[in-house]
Structure 1
Amino acid sequence: MRLTVFFCVFFAATLFTPAFSQNNAFLSFSVGTLGIDDHNKAVDYRLEYRASKSIKGFSPTLGLQATSQASLYSFMGFSRDVRMSNEFYLVPSLGVGAYRQGDGKNLGGVLEFRSGLEFALNLGMNARASVAVHHLSNSSIYQRNPGIESIVFSYCFVRPK
C-alpha cells in the first residue's frame, strides 16, 4: 500500500513537470521477474501498447502480462513520459485490470491496480530500451491483499507521428 501511495504522489507530481515528450506510439515487449521480494517468483512476459494521442499529457496504455506460472493480467491505464535529457526518460504509470491467478500468487481477487516507474533510454532508430518496476495489488478492496512487485526489461518499437 505504501508503494502505491508513493507512485500516486510521484505520478501527480509529473502533472506539473513541463519536460515530457509523448510524441510517439510505442509497442513494448518485456521480460523479467514477478515476485521479486517473494518466494513465489515467476518469469514475467509483457506486451504493451502506448498510444501517441494524449489526454492532458497522459498516454492511454493497454497491455497483457503472462507468467511462467500461467497467471494472466490484462490492463489499461495511463503513462506519462518525463524527459530528463535527450536520451533519458522517467515514465510513471497507473492502471487497472483483470487478474487470473493460474498457478501463481493469490492476489485476493480479479480486479487489480498497477503502479509503476520506468527508466527509459532512447536508442535512436525509433527504439527505446528500459527497465521498469511495478506494484500490483487490489488496494484492499478484497479481504486478501498481498500485492506483488516485478522488474522487467523492455524493448520498445517507436512509431513516429
Structure 2
Amino acid sequence: MDGTFAIIFFITGLTDTYLNECPTGCYQLQEAPARAALQISDVVFQDDSISEEIYVTYDLARRYGVFQPVIGASATSDGSLWVGAGAKWTTQKVIDGPFFVEASFMPGLYAQGDGPDLGLPLEFRSALGVGYSFDNGATLSVLADHRSNGDLKDLNPGLETLGLRFAMVLD
C-alpha cells in the first residue's frame, strides 16, 4: 500500500468543503462532538500479520469546515509506539441511514521497539473506514490505515493495520 489513503483524505475533504461548507464559510470554526475512541487492530508488515495494536484517539470538540482535529497514540504487542495529531473527515452523505465514511491523516512519531524499521521516526498515518452511528452518538467502525515516512528516506516499507474502533461522545 502507498499514500492512497492520504490522497483520498485530501481529495474528499476538500471536495466536501467546497460543495457543502463554502456557502457558510469554508473553514469557519464550528462545534463538533468530542469523542474518545479505542481501536483494536491487526498489524501487517509486508503482507504478514506481525502483531496486534491498541490505538486510542481523541476528537477535539471543534472542526474547521469538514476537518476535525484529532490526536492519537498506539502501542503494539511487539513494543512499537506511535503518537500523532492531524485531522479527520467524516460524512453520512455517502451511505443512507446511520452509516458513515471517514478518512484521516495524522503525522506522528514512531518508536520501533521490536517492530519493523520504517525508515524514520516521522511516520504519516492515513486511514479510511466505514461505520455505524448509534442514536446516543457512539460509533462502531472498521478502519484500514497505512503508515509510512512518505518517501522522505529511501527506506520506506510502510505498515498497515486493519481494526475495529468504538468511539463514544464525551459531554
TM-score (norm 2): 0.84
Give % identity: 27
Tell me which amino acid in the other structure corresponds to 1:63. G
- How far the C-alpha of 1:10 sits from its partner, in A, is 4.6
Distance 2:147 2:33 in 1: 26
* Native 8 Å contact 1:32 1:152 kept in 2: yes
Deviation of residue 118 (structure 1)? 1.6
125-134 vs 62-71, which moves further: 125-134
Q: Structure 1: which amino acid aligns with 2:106?
A: G
The count of corresponding residues between Structure 1 and Structure 2 is 158
Runs of 5+ unmatched residues, structure 2: 22-30
Deviations 1:51-94 (A, max 9, x none): 12012220001000100000000011100111133411111111
CA distance in 1, matches of 2:49, 2:116: 7
Q: Deviations over 1:127-152 (max 9, x none)?
A: 11011000000011122100011111
How many angstroms apart in 2 are the aligned matches of 1:26 and 1:86?
Answer: 21
Which is further off, 84-93 or 139-148?
Answer: 84-93
Q: Quick one: structure 1 residues 48 and 89, their matched pair in 2 at CA, closer, same or farther if it must change by over 3 Å? A: same
Instruction: Give the letter aligned to residue 8 of structure 1.
Output: I
- Structure 1 unaligned blocks of 5 or more: none
Residue 12 (1) aligns with residue 11 (2): yes
Q: 1:124 to 1:12 in 2, by over 3 A?
A: same
RMSD over aligned Cα atoms: 2.1
Shift of 1:37: 5.1
Q: Which of 95, 110, 117 is matched with 1:99 structurally?
A: 110
TM-score, with structure 1 as normaliser: 0.88
Q: How does 1:78-117 map to 2 (within 5 A)?
A: 78-84=87-93, 85-117=96-128
The counterpart of 1:33, out of the listed 24, 39, 42, is: 42
Distance 1:64 1:117, change over 3 A: same
* Paired residues of 1:27 and 1:47 also in contact (CA < 8 A): yes
Aligned residue number for residue 51 of structure 1:
60
More displaced, 85-94 or 110-119? 85-94
Q: Structure 1: how far apart are the matches of 2:114 and 2:161?
A: 17
- Which structure has the larger Rg over C-alpha atoms? 2
